[in-house]
Amino acid sequence: MRNKKSIRKFIRHPSDVPIQVVLDRVVEEPDDDTTLTNVSLGGLSFISSRKLQILDRVRVCIPILQKENCLTGIVVWCEKAAEGYEVGLEFERSQEIFRLRMIEQICHIEHYRKEIESQQGRKLSTEEAAKEWISEYAGDFPAM
């Protein structure tokens, strides 16, 4: 169960972007059933088909980004969920936190792209969605 300190660190930002998660300590295939659920300044949470242990080091890659934009973090909580496990991951290094902040914006842009297609029937490329999202919402995006 999550403690109150962990909960306060994870300010929720909903996201529906698929991610790949690989345990750092073993060479294995990515968890194919992983979905990013929330992104915050210091970490993220995701749904995984497998239970992870507290303090496991994991590498997270987002397929819509280039492979070298993977992040490494530490599991700070893992709870049974309706479909698998919800896992909270925390990043400690400032470089990782800055990169996560950029990824958070990309997730918002991807969500915007899907929403526009669903609601308006317009199919936008990632670049087109980014330009629209930046002009419409970037000013409201909280500073670090």
Q: How do 71-81 and 35-39 pair as beta strands?
A: unpaired
Phi and psi for 26 in degrees, rounded to 5? -135, 155
26 neighbors 42 (Cβ within 8 angstroms): no
Which pLDDT belongs to residue 138?
74
Q: Where are the beta strands (DSSP E) in the chain?
A: 20-23, 35-39, 43-48, 57-61, 71-81, 84-90
All structural domains of the chain, each given as residue ranges with its CATH number in brackets, are: 4-90 (2.40.10.220), 94-140 (no CATH)
Which pLDDT belongs to residue 22?
74
Which pLDDT belongs to residue 26?
47
List the pLDDT tens digit at each of the 144 positions of the chain. Answer: 454 444 334 434 445 666 667 776 544 555 555 767 776 767 888 888 889 999 999 888 776 655 456 788 899 999 999 888 999 988 877 666 677 777 777 778 888 888 999 999 999 988 898 889 888 877 776 665
Contacts of 90 (CB under 8 A, 6+ apart): 6, 9, 42, 43, 73, 74, 76
Query: What would the two tokens of residue 23 be?
Result: 């345990």
Which pLDDT belongs to residue 111?
84
pTM of the entire predicted model: 0.61
